[in-house]
């Protein structure tokens, strides 16, 4: 994802510090932007599976759900994707009023306020939302990112970089926001003459290889509906931690090859194809990722729009 240069009246630039915006929103969506199954809420994939309902349909569903934050989250997410940040923030306010204990909703509200602000790069309401998110979930990646942005804006560039490096250390390899986070760290380091390369390398080396065959949200062992598409076992992850980088790469390539072979035998698995596309991008193989997208659409024409959306989010063109 490329940042767009936007300048406020004081000459400050939004480029860079909103670099992770859409990627982090995607991350929240994949991890659980709809987190209400336990309280009777909807499924995060419902919008895509229902054929992308209109904003009007989503609003009608939300207004009929006085005690369910899920439809309000769906509405907010749809507005955000269309660049309607004021409307997205309004819907997220309704969502957090219903489900005030959901960190991901607070951080999504904060991001909508940031993206919709014409003057203040981090409005007070956004900062408050990010702080509430972290109070509920100290691991929330979006809130951690933007609170580090606050450090950078306040001229604490070293503090911002340290916070981003901590976030990177906790980021699963291959996460949607990983590449943009690394680029942000590198850019802020270069602008402020802070040596980044050794510290960045140290963090990267401490991380386990990409969980290339990981399953859905909250299910590191893979999708139970697709037992052949499992993630690495705990033993495999532990063993990977003791490998050299070249050995980790070899292991990852083997996992991807196995995944691709299974999809050739069972091509009617859109989630598996997305997994393969993400894996190819993680390995730095965009051409193979594009080939996976083409094969996925050919095998699942009814899912073409969603597959293309996922591919775009991964940077596949």
The average pLDDT across 146-173 equals: 89
C-alpha distances out from residue 285 to 4, 209, 289, Å: 25, 16, 6
Judge whether 161 and 180 are in contact, CB under 8 Å: no
Query: Which residue do the tokens 């729009």 mark?
Result: 305
DSSP 181: H
pLDDT at res. 228: 43
Range of weakest confidence among 116-120, 150-154, 185-189, 217-221? 217-221
Mean pLDDT of the chain: 73
Compute the distance between CA of residue 77 and CA of residue 80 in angstroms, rounded to an integer. 5
Residue 247: which residues within 8 A CB-CB, separation 6 or more? none
| CATH fold match for the domains 21-206 and 234-313 | yes
**Sequence ranges of the domains in the chain:** 21-206, 234-313
Yes or no: domain 21-206 corresponds to CATH 1.25.40.10: yes
The average pLDDT across 177-181 equals: 78
Judge whether 18 and 184 are in contact, CB under 8 Å: no
Count CB neighbours of 154 within 10 A: 11
C-alpha distances out from residue 254 to 174, 212, 250, 305, Å: 16, 10, 6, 29
Yes or no: domain 234-313 corresponds to CATH 1.25.40: yes
As given in the structure block, the two tokens for residue 48 are 């895509």
Query: Which residue do the tokens 């062992």 mark?
Result: 221
The average pLDDT across 3-13 equals: 35
Give the max Cα distance, the chain. Answer: 58
pLDDT at res. 210: 44
As given in the structure block, the two tokens for residue 57 are 């349909």
What's the residue count for the chain? Answer: 317
Range of weakest confidence among 26-30, 69-73, 262-266, 286-290? 26-30
Range of weakest confidence among 88-92, 178-182, 198-202? 178-182
Residue pLDDT, tens place only, 184-222: 888 888 888 999 999 999 988 877 554 443 433 333 333
As given in the structure block, the two tokens for residue 170 are 């906790």
Compute the distance between CA of residue 292 and CA of residue 277 in angstroms, rounded to an integer. 6
Say whether pLDDT at 242 is over 80: no
Judge whether 80 and 25 are in contact, CB under 8 Å: yes
pLDDT at res. 283: 72
What percent of the chain stands above pLDDT 70? 68
Alpha helices in 33-140 (DSSP H): 46-49, 55-63, 69-81, 85-98, 103-116, 124-136
């Amino acid at each position: 994802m490329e940042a767009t240069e936007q300048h406020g009246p004081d000459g400050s630039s939004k480029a860079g510090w909103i670099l992770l915006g859409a990627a982090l929103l995607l991350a929240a969506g994949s991890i659980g932007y709809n987190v209400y199954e336990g309280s009777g809420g909807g499924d995060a994939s419902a919008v895509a599976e229902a054929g992308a309902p209109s904003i009007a349909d989503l609003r009608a569903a939300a207004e009929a759900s006085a005690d369910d934050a899920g439809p309000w989250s769906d509405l907010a997410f749809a507005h955000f994707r269309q660049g309607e940040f004021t409307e997205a923030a309004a819907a997220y306010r309704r969502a957090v009023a219903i489900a005030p204990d959901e960190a991901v909703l607070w951080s999504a509200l904060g991001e909508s306020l940031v993206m919709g602000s014409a003057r203040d790069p981090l409005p007070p309401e956004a900062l408050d939302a990010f702080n509430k998110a972290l109070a509920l979930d100290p691991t929330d990646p979006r809130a951690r990112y933007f609170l580090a942005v606050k450090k950078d804006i306040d001229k604490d560039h070293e503090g911002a970089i340290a916070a981003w490096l901590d976030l990177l250390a906790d980021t699963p390899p291959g996460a949607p926001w990983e590449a943009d986070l690394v680029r942000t760290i590198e850019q802020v380091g270069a602008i402020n003459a802070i040596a980044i390369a050794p510290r960045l390398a140290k963090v990267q080396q401490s991380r386990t290889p990409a969980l290339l065959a990981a399953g859905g949200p909250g299910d590191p062992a893979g999708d139970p509906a697709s037992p052949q598409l499992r993630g690495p076992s705990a033993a495999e992850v532990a063993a990977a931690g003791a490998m050299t980088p070249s050995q980790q790469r070899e292991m990852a390539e083997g996992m991807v090859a196995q995944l691709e072979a299974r999809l050739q035998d069972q091509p009617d698995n859109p989630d598996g194809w997305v997994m393969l596309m993400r894996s190819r991008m993680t390995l730095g193989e965009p051409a193979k990722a594009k080939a996976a997208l083409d094969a996925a659409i050919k095998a699942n024409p009814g899912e073409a729009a969603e597959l293309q959306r996922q591919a775009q989010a991964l940077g596949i063109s």
